[in-house]
Structure formats: structure tokens, C-alpha cells
Amino acid sequence: MADLQFSLGRHFAVAVDWMNSNWGDGLRAISNVVDGAVRGLESALLAIPPVVVVALVALAAWRVSGRGLAAFSVAGLAFCWFGNLWAATMLTTALVFISVSLSLMIAIPVGILAASNATVERILKPLLDLMQTLPPWVYLIPAVILLGVGRPPAVLATMVFGIPPALRLTVLGLKQVPVDRIELGLAYGGSPLHILTKIRLPSALPSIMVGVNQTILLSLGMVVLAGLIGAGGLGGEVTRGLSRMMLGLALRAGIAVVILSIILDRLTQGLVRRDQD
């Protein structure tokens, strides 16, 4: 029976050693760039006085969604500030911003290609189905293997996790553009690039913005989960509170995550409604 035993871990370790030997310099460069981007944005956010950040977010909330969200934003961010969670909240915001930006840089162009090419769409569909079926923590495993622990693997895992909704809704929005609009553009001699930028993308913008909204919310959940691998932020505070039985800290950090989720969700939903009006 001993001859029939198979150790997946032993073969997997060989593959990891090969990647570290052959891709080590490139992976370290990627890690340094991502870490530098997160630290730079975090420093910029922390350099602004909290009262100014609260005022700017409240103003944006009032302009986009009304007085209710503005009041909630002031109260919620004040809770994070006076609950000694301001630095963690800003780090989580920086992680989400970098991760979502990278997700959209991949998802939207690939979505445009898939909406224009049925073969690409057929190839992507099962891959996207698989990506949306896997549990979130599964994405952390290859990220840690490739980039170690800390902020870079958190951004990598979050970026990959956030791609499917943005990509799917980009394809959906572009495929739902009325044919008569495209034919009108062709009749006026519009090039494919002009039709894409002047007709198809503006018409699909509400659907794309819904994809952005979903990507932000999924990314926030993944960033919080990434506290398990040393990403820090509110997820790190939740992990620290639970691991050390500091239930007050874990509860405060959990409430801060909910507050940040609601603010980001309502802001992006407000932008979607404005695009549809």
C-alpha cells in the first residue's frame, strides 16, 4: 500500500521552489511596486486631517445621494476616528482603492474584447463561473505562495477576486446597447473606435458602474479577510481582536467595516442613479 501513496504537497513544493528560483526577481519587483503604491496612498490619506476627510466625504455623499448619507458618513467616520481606528480605516481604504483600480484595468478592457468577440466570451464564461464559485480565502493561498505575507498578496488576491463582476457587467452593458444607435453611428461614418467611445461605452456606463459597485464591495470583504495574512487595516484589527480575545476591539473594527461598506456602496449607487437620469 505504501507504493500507492501520493503526496500532493511534495510535488507542489517542487513547483513553488521552481517559481521562486525563476520568477523571484520579478515577483519581488511586483511586490515592491504594489507595496509602494499602498503605502503612498495610505500616507497621503493620513496626511490629511481627519476632520477634512470627514467633511469631503460628507460633501460628496450629499451631492451624490442626499442629506441622509451625508449625516451617516459624518457619524460613521467620527466613530472610526474617535474609536482609535482612523489609521486602520485609511489603510483599508487604500488597499481597496489600489485593488479595485487594478481589477478595473483588467476587467473593462477584457470585457470590451469579450463583448466584441464571441469566442473570447465563450472561453471566459467557464473561467468566470469558476472564479465566482471558489471561496474567497482560496485566493489568498496562491497570493501568499507568490508574494509572501503582507499587503502585496492581499492586493493580488483582492484584484483577482474583484475581476469577475466588473467583467461580466461590462460585457452585459455593451451587448445591451441598442442596435439602432450603432447603426446611426455607422451611417454617419463613425470608425469602430469612435462608435466604441462615443456610443457603446456611454450607453453601457450604468451597467459598468454597477460592476464597479460590486467590485468595490467584494474587494472590501476580501481586504478584511486578508487581515489573516498580515495585510493590516480593519481586517487586521478584527483578526487581532479575535485572536487575543479582545472582543471590544473586534466589535469596533467590525462596525467600522460595515460603516465603510455602506458609505462606499451608497456613493457608487448614487453615481449609477445619476448616470441613469
- To which residue does cell 464597479 refer? 212
* Residue 4: inside a domain: no
**CATH code for the domain in which residue 179 is found:** 1.10.3720.10
Q: Is the pTM of this model over 0.85?
A: yes
Backbone angles phi, psi at 177, to 5 degrees: -65, 130
* Residue 7: inside a domain: no
pLDDT of amino acid 1: 44
Distance CA 14, CA 214 (A): 37
CA dihedral 231, 97, 62, 48 (to 10 degrees): 70
Please state, as a whole number, how many other Cβ atoms lie within 10 Å of the Cβ of residue 124: 20
Residue 224: all three cell numbers together: 478584511
Domain total of the chain: 1
Question: Comparing C-alpha atoms, which of 85, 91, 86, 88 is closest to residue 37?
Answer: 91
pLDDT of amino acid 252: 92
Q: What is the DSSP string of 200-246?
A: IHHHHHHHHHHHHHHHHHHHHHHHHHGGGGT--HHHHHHHHHHHTT-
* Residue 12: inside a domain: no
Residues 6+ apart with CB under 8 A from 108: 166, 167, 170, 208
Question: Comparing C-alpha atoms, which of 57, 95, 62, 97 is closest to residue 270?
Answer: 62
* Residue 117: inside a domain: yes
* Residue 228: inside a domain: yes
pLDDT of amino acid 108: 93
pLDDT tens digits in sequence order for the chain, 277 residues long = 445 555 555 666 677 677 777 777 788 888 899 999 999 999 999 999 999 999 999 999 999 888 899 999 999 999 999 989 999 999 999 999 999 999 999 999 999 999 988 899 999 999 999 888 888 888 888 888 888 888 999 999 999 999 999 999 999 999 988 888 888 887 877 788 888 888 888 888 888 988 999 999 888 889 888 888 888 888 889 888 888 888 888 899 999 999 999 999 888 888 777 655 5
Question: Comparing C-alpha atoms, which of 117, 225, 221 is closest to residue 175?
Answer: 117
Q: Which domain holds residue 51?
A: 20-276
Distance CA 162, CA 104 (A): 8
* Residue 15: inside a domain: no
* Residue 13: inside a domain: no
Count of positions (residues) in the chain: 277
* Residue 58: inside a domain: yes
Distance CA 161, CA 133 (A): 11
Give 224-229's long-range contacts (Cβ < 8 A, gap of 24+): 224/92, 224/257, 225/136, 225/137, 225/140, 226/95, 226/140, 226/153, 226/154, 226/157, 226/158, 228/137, 228/140, 229/140, 229/143, 229/144, 229/149, 229/150, 229/153, 229/154
pLDDT of amino acid 137: 82
Burial class (CB in 10 A: 0-12, 13-18, 19+), 130: exposed
Residues 6+ apart with CB under 8 A from 188: none
Residues 6+ apart with CB under 8 A from 131: 160, 161, 163, 164
Please, what is the end-to-end C-alpha distance for the chain in angstroms?
69
